[in-house]
């Protein structure tokens, strides 16, 4: 068979063409690979993802905000002290009964320190490698091994039901507008973040507080997980405990409807 020029190709011409084509193709592949590697390097900029200098983590931002909120609470407490002092100066003309009524409101709201016998409940996560402690109980899922919002709420509600005169979670006094909220494995209380173990302290009649904990179905449900997987649970009494007065804002914040666009 002849080509377009009428000459027949020699047997050695085809291998020569193939060699040149393979060399060109190989060079192109290596060039493309080099471009990919360079692009990857240029994008990464050689960043060590285990370094201590990456962009700020969300957890670091949360801790920073929590610390800032704590400083603001101290400032609010100082300002509240000034307001109370000015209030006492301005109430010089009030009767004894009127002064007692005002002082009684402070005690009810929770802005005054409270001293008395108390019960403290401590809740903690189970070990991350915990296994079932009771025969016939299935192996735990991750959610079975951590404290949830419902567990803290169950304890707080039971203590109020038992006649607690005041309750404190960690180092913060609860008032009527306090909300116990958990995000993941952390507690967010009045703008500050806490990690387990969680301590709930209630001032009141210890006997009645114990009875309320024993009578709470939600608390008893949590105790089933304590027995099955080893979550932390400790109840102790103290003859005299002083809860600090609430020092944050007492303004009521609530949701409002969003106007349609």
For residue range 97-152, what is the model confidence (pLDDT) as tens digits? Answer: 766 776 666 667 788 899 999 999 999 999 989 999 999 999 999 999 999 999 99
237: left (phi over 0), alpha (psi -120 to 50) or beta: beta
Question: Which among 76, 116, 104, 91 has a CA at the least distance from the CA of 241?
Answer: 116
What is residue 52's DSSP assignment?
A: S
Alpha carbon distances (Å) from 249 to 3, 73, 138 = 95, 8, 46
Q: Is the pLDDT of residue 41 over 60?
A: no
Decide: 124 and 169 in contact? Cβ < 8 Å: no
* Secondary structure (DSSP) of 29-49: HHHHHHHHHHHHHHHHTT--T
d(CA 206, CA 212): 10
Q: CA-based angle 211:216:222, to the nearest 5?
A: 115
Decide: 122 and 197 in contact? Cβ < 8 Å: yes
Decide: 155 and 121 in contact? Cβ < 8 Å: yes
- Which token pair is 261? 């666009």
pLDDT given for residue 40 in this prediction: 47
Q: Is the pLDDT of residue 57 over 70?
A: no
pTM for this predicted structure: 0.63
Strand ranges inside the chain, DSSP E: 114-124, 166-169, 172-173, 181-183, 186-189, 192-194, 198-203, 232-243
Angle between helices 149-161 and 206-215 (to 10 degrees): 130
- Which token pair is 16? 């020569």
**Residue 186, burial from CB neighbour count under 10 angstroms (0-12, 13-18, 19+):** middle
Q: Is the pLDDT of residue 38 over 70?
A: no
Higher pLDDT among residues 144 and 77, named by residue: 144
Say if residue 23 is preceded by a cis peptide, omega within 30 of 0. no
């Amino acid at each position: 068979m002849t080509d377009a020029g009428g000459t027949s190709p020699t047997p050695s011409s085809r291998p020569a063409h193939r060699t040149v084509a393979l060399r060109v193709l190989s060079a192109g592949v290596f060039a493309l690979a080099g471009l990919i590697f360079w692009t990857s390097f240029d994008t990464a900029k050689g960043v060590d993802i285990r370094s201590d200098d990456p962009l700020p983590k969300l957890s670091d931002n949360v801790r920073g905000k929590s610390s800032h909120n704590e400083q603001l609470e101290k400032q609010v407490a100082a300002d509240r002290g000034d307001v109370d002092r000015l209030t006492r100066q301005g109430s010089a003309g009030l009767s004894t009964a009127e002064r007692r009524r005002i002082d009684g409101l402070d005690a009810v709201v929770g802005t005054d320190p409270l001293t008395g016998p108390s019960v403290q409940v401590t809740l903690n996560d189970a070990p991350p490698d915990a296994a079932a402690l009771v025969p016939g109980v299935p192996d735990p899922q991750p959610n079975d091994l951590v404290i949830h919002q419902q567990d803290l709420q169950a304890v707080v509600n039971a203590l109020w039901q038992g006649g607690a005169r005041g309750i404190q979670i960690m180092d913060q006094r609860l008032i009527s507008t306090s909300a116990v909220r958990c995000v993941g494995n952390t507690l967010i209380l009045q703008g500050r973040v806490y990690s387990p173990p969680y301590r709930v302290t209630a001032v009141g009649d210890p006997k009645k507080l114990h009875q309320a904990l024993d009578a709470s179905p939600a608390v008893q449900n949590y105790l089933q997980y304590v027995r099955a997987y080893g979550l932390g649970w400790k109840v102790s009494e103290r003859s005299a405990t002083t809860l600090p007065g609430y020092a944050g804002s007492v303004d009521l914040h609530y949701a409002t409807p969003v106007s349609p666009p």
